[in-house]
Structure 1
Amino acid sequence: MFPATDDPPLVSPGQQYVKTNLFNKVVTHLHPSHTTTVNNLHVTHQHYFPHTDSCINECSEIHTMCGVPVNPCCPFSPFGF
């Protein structure tokens, strides 16, 4: 009888197990609504253009000294008076 020999171990592929836990949950969905009332005011702008007239009369004058007046009673002045 011969002594026993040890062979390397034979490893089978691992098995995977899945354990599923189920949790029930209630989700409330709210669907709010809103109504907006719009009151629309229509404004009509009426434009008037009253007009008045005026008149300005302008006058300009120039005094020109064309010589020296002779006045023997008074001494000579720069303006001749």
Structure 2
Amino acid sequence: MEFPSNPQKEVPAFDSVVLACEAAEQAEIYNVAIYDRLFSQVDNQDIIMIFEALRYASQEKHLPAFQRCSGLR
């Protein structure tokens, strides 16, 4: 299985909480897309269940929280 590269080698600094939340929102969208791609590369049902749980958390919990935070303008 090929793992995606991690272009984020350092943690960025942000000028405001809203900007940090906007970046986190995009990161969660990216995470969901990663899990969508990984599903087709894995046959092990235990790993698929973990990916499903992580994808759900990104899509249904983390993303909405960061969207609320980034809307604080």
Shared fold per TM-score greater than 0.5: no
Going by fraction, where is helix more abundant, 1 or 2?
Answer: 2
Q: TM-score, normalised by structure 2?
A: 0.16
Structure with the greater alpha carbon radius of gyration: 1
